[in-house]
Amino acid sequence: MTDKKTIAVIGGTGHEGPGLAARWAKSGQYRVIIGSRKLEKAQQVAAEWNEKLGAELLTGMQNEDAVRACDIAVLTVPYKFHSDTLDGLKDLLQGKILVDVTVPLKPPKVSIAHIPPEGAAGEQAQSLLGDGVRVVSAFQNIGAGHLSDVEHPIDCDVLVCGNDKDAKKDVIAMAAAAGMRGIDAGPIQNAAVIEGLTAVLIGINIRHKAKAAGIKITGI
Ligand SMILES: NC(=O)c1ccc[n+]([C@@H]2O[C@H](COP(=O)([O-])OP(=O)(O)OC[C@H]3O[C@@H](n4cnc5c(N)ncnc54)[C@H](OP(=O)(O)O)[C@@H]3O)[C@@H](O)[C@H]2O)c1
- What mean pLDDT is predicted for residues 186-211? 96
Domain ranges of the chain: 5-207
Residue nearest to atom 40 of ligand 1 (CA): 36
Least confident stretch, 75-89, 104-118, 120-134: 104-118
Is residue 85 within 6 Å of ligand 1 at its C-beta? Answer: yes
Mean pLDDT of the chain: 96
Dist. CA 80 → ligand 1 center (Å):
10
Q: Does pTM surpass 0.95?
A: yes
Is residue 15 within 6 Å of ligand 1 at its C-beta? Answer: yes
pLDDT band at 2 (very low <50, low <70, confident <90, very high): low
Q: What per-residue confidence (pLDDT) applies to 118?
A: 87
Is residue 100 within 6 Å of ligand 1 at its C-beta? Answer: no
- Would you tell me the crossing angle of helices 16-27 and 165-177 to the nearest 10 degrees? 90
Is residue 34 within 6 Å of ligand 1 at its C-beta? Answer: no
Q: Which helix (H) or strand (E) holds 75?
A: strand 72-75
Q: What per-residue confidence (pLDDT) applies to 182?
A: 98
Dist. CA 209 → ligand 1 center (Å):
24
Q: How far is 18 from 211, CA to CA, in rounded Å?
A: 18
pLDDT over 90 at 181, yes or no = yes
pLDDT over 60 at 1, yes or no = no
Dist. CA 13 → ligand 1 center (Å):
8
pLDDT tens, 33-72?
999 999 999 999 999 999 999 999 999 999 999 999 999 9
Instruction: Kindly report the number of other CB atoms within 10 A of residue 178's CB atom.
Output: 25
Is residue 14 within 6 Å of ligand 1 at its C-beta? Answer: yes
For 130, phi then psi, to 5°, come to 85, 175
Q: Which helix (H) or strand (E) holds 195?
A: helix 191-207
Dist. CA 131 → ligand 1 center (Å):
25
CB 19 within 8 A of CB 144: yes
Is residue 11 within 6 Å of ligand 1 at its C-beta? Answer: yes
pLDDT over 60 at 95, yes or no = yes
Looking at the CA of residue 198, tell me the nearest atom of ligand 1: 6
What is the Cα Rg of the chain in Å? 16
For the beta sheet containing 134-137, the strands, ordered from the edge strand earlier in sequence to the opposite edge, are 58-62, 30-36, 5-10, 72-75, 97-100, 134-137, 157-162, 181-184
**141: nearest Cα among 71, 65, 32, 217:** 217
Identify the CATH number of the domain defined by range 5-207.
3.40.50.720
